[in-house]
């Protein structure tokens, strides 16, 4: 009898093993899940910024060509940016990013033109994409605030000193970026967690670009070269990010950028080189963001009515404090002081500037899809070219911005 039970159990075990083997073979034979097609990895996001700058205005002749062209007389409600961003990891080592802006301003009287901002691909060298090349039109890795998206920045316009290095922050070129996986994750979290990060532009960057700024052709067959080192690190509960960057090249001041009577070098080539230091203490809850630059570049000289290679310097410091209430609404009061003494190569006659400015404001984020900024600006700007001689403008104004994120 016992033998019969044993025989029966052996038969049952045999059927179980055969059944499991059959299932396993079926699984093995099953086709692997098909890889997603490249167009299925696309993502779309964007934002819109609407502004009004005329409240409590004391001087309608005070302007800011580099920043917001709706300052001053005849300025009204204004769309500063209207951007839709297409991006995606189309393979393990190839990423693309395309960003047009539908509120570009050709001048103070010609607004809301469509213009390309970014169009590049990242090509990973290794499996983790810790080493990668960025090819196309993208931000030149010079300055933390230049790298920081306008969608995340507290102050309404970038500082004059570092932003005068690269108008619209972008140019056509090839840039090499390196960052360990841990640092790349930290770069992403500093933006995702609302700490006003700059994004992932590597711990180390090195590249070459045309040097005439975005959407403009090369003029002298001599590329600009740039390098940057920036390393975020945790110290206790705080996160700091020191950095240093530099670039060199020759900038061509074109005929379209000069007045007819302005004296200029015969070959129109001017030395264009700078170095800058950065220090960031992320707002947890108190924040500091500071940068300063030195260098040389083209600048209009009112004494000789000529464009010359002259020294420049300037920087800014922004202090902020992040407050989150029980309803998860975010309030960030801030204050920024900035200074710049130098030329702006991309403006008429490489316009000469002396800027001293204090800005006091607050950002309110009731929900992640909407932000409101109120900022009071106290400004002293001397900006001079062949037509604007002894042009010192001082004034105050209250500025408002509503931003929609999607």
CA 112 to chain centre: 20
pLDDT single digits (tens) 176-201 = 999 999 999 999 999 999 999 999 99
Q: Which DSSP helix (H) or strand (E) runs through 240?
A: strand 238-252
Question: To which residue do tokens 């080539």 refer?
Answer: 269
pLDDT one-digit tens code per residue, 129-140: 999 999 999 999
> What's residue 22's pLDDT?
45
pLDDT tens track for 224-276: 999 999 999 999 999 999 999 999 999 999 999 999 999 999 999 999 999 99
State the chain's mean pLDDT as an integer.
91
* Burial of residue 374, with CB atoms counted within 10 A of its CB: 0-12 exposed, 13-18 middle, 19 or more buried: middle
Local confidence band at 109 (pLDDT 50, 70, 90 cut-offs): low
Report the candidate in 37, 127, 52, 32 with the shortest Cα–Cα distance to residue 398.
52
- Residue 117 pLDDT > 90: yes
Which helix or strand (DSSP H or E) is residue 21 part of?
A: helix 2-29
Give the pLDDT confidence score for residue 32 in this predicted structure: 67
Least confident of 63-77, 145-159, 238-252, 332-346: 63-77
Query: What pLDDT sits at residue 30?
Result: 55
**What pLDDT, on the 0 to 100 scale, is given for residue 14?**
43
Q: d(Cα 63, Cα 14) in Å, to the nearest integer?
A: 88
The least confident of 2-11, 66-75, 305-314 is: 2-11
User: Could you give the CA distance from residue 177 to residue 124 in angstroms, rounded to a whole number?
Assistant: 10
Do the Cβ atoms of 376 and 56 come closer than 8 Å? yes
Residue with tokens 């000469």: 352
- Categorize the per-residue pLDDT at 78 as very low, low, confident or very high, splitting at 50, 70 and 90: very high
Q: Where are the beta strands (DSSP E) in 34-125?
A: 43-55, 78-91, 94-104, 113-124
Q: Where are the domains of the chain?
A: 44-405
What's the confidence (pLDDT) of residue 240?
98
Domain 44-405 carries which CATH code?
Answer: 2.40.160.10
Q: Could you give the percent of the chain with pLDDT greater than 90?
A: 84
SS3 381: strand
**What is the pLDDT, as a whole number, of residue 42?**
86
The answer to whether 214 and 167 have CB atoms below 8 angstroms apart is yes
Tokens of 285: 């809850």
Q: Which SS3 state, helix, strand or coil, does residue 139 take?
A: strand
Rounded-to-integer distance, Cα 268 and Cα 388, Å: 21
SS3 341: strand
For residues 352 and 301, the answer to whether their CB atoms sit within 8 Å is: yes
pLDDT band for position 107 (50/70/90)? Answer: low
Query: In sequence order, which residues have a C-beta less than 8 Å from that of residue 316 and are 6 or more positions away?
Result: 145, 159, 161, 290, 291, 336, 337, 338, 339
The helix/strand/coil state of 12 is helix
Q: Which pLDDT does position 221 carry in this prediction?
A: 93
Residue 112 Cα distances to 79, 104, 253, angstroms: 7, 5, 26
pLDDT value at 160 more than 80: yes
CA angle 238, 240, 241 (to 5 degrees): 160
12 band by pLDDT with thresholds 50, 70 and 90? very low
> So what's the pLDDT on residue 37?
75
pLDDT of residue 191: 96
Percent of the chain, pLDDT > 70? 91
Q: What would the mean pLDDT of 149-173 be, rounded to a whole number?
A: 97
Tokens 């809301």 belong to residue: 112
pLDDT at 214 over 50: yes
Q: Which of 76-110 are b and which e, b meaning 16 or more Cβ less than 10 Å from the residue's Cβ?
A: eebbbbbbebbbbbbeeeebbbbbbbebbbeeeee
Say which range, 52-66, 94-108, 266-280, 313-327, has the weakest mean pLDDT: 94-108
Burial class (CB in 10 A: 0-12, 13-18, 19+), 302: middle
Alpha helices in 199-258 (DSSP H): none
Per-residue confidence band for 156, with pLDDT thresholds at 50, 70 and 90: very high
Q: List phi, psi (to 5°) of 179.
A: -160, 135
Please tell me what DSSP assigns to residue 6. H
pLDDT at 104: 87
Q: Is the dihedral of CA 323, 325, 328, 330 positive or negative?
A: negative
The mean pLDDT of 206-211, rounded to a whole number, is 98
């Amino acid at each position: 009898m016992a033998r019969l039970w044993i025989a029966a159990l052996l038969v049952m075990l045999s059927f179980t093993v055969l059944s499991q083997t059959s299932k396993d073979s079926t699984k093995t034979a099953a086709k692997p899940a098909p890889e997603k097609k490249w167009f299925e990895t696309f993502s779309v996001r964007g934002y819109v910024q609407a502004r009004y700058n005329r409240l409590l205005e004391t001087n309608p002749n005070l302007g800011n060509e580099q920043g917001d062209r709706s300052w001053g007389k005849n300025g009204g409600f204004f769309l500063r940016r209207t951007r839709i961003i297409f991006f995606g990891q189309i393979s393990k080592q190839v990423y693309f990013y395309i960003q047009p802006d539908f509120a570009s301003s050709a001048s103070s009287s010609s607004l809301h033109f469509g213009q390309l901002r970014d169009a590049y691909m990242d090509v990973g060298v290794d499996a983790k994409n810790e080493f990668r090349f960025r090819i196309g039109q993208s931000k030149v890795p010079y300055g933390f605030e230049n790298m920081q998206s306008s969608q995340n920045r507290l102050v309404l316009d970038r500082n004059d000193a570092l932003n005068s290095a690269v108008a619209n922050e972008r140019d056509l070129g090839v840039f090499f970026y390196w960052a360990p996986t841990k640092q790349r994750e930290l770069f992403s979290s500093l933006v995702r967690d609302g700490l006003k990060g700059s994004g992932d532009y590597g711990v180390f960057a090195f590249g070459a670009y045309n040097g005439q700024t975005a959407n403009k052709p090369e003029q002298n067959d001599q590329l600009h070269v740039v390098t940057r080192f920036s390393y975020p690190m945790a110290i206790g509960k705080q996160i700091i990010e020191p950095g240093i960057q530099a670039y060199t090249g020759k900038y061509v001041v074109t005929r379209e950028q000069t007045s007819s009577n302005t004296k200029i070098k015969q070959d129109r080539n001017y030395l264009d080189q700078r170095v800058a230091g950065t220090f960031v203490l992320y707002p947890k809850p108190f924040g500091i963001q500071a940068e300063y630059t030195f260098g040389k570049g083209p600048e209009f000289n009112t004494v000789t009515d000529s464009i010359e290679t002259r020294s420049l310097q300037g920087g800014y410091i922004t202090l902020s404090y992040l407050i989150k209430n029980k309803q998860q609404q975010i309030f960030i009061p801030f204050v920024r002081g900035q200074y710049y003494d130098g030329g702006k190569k991309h403006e008429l006659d490489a316009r000469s500037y002396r800027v001293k400015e204090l800005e006091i404001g607050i950002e309110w984020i009731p929900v992640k899809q909407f932000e409101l900024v109120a900022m009071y600006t106290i400004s002293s700007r001397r900006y001079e070219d062949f037509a604007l001689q002894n042009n010192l403008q001082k004034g105050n104004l209250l500025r408002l911005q509503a931003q929609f994120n999607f």
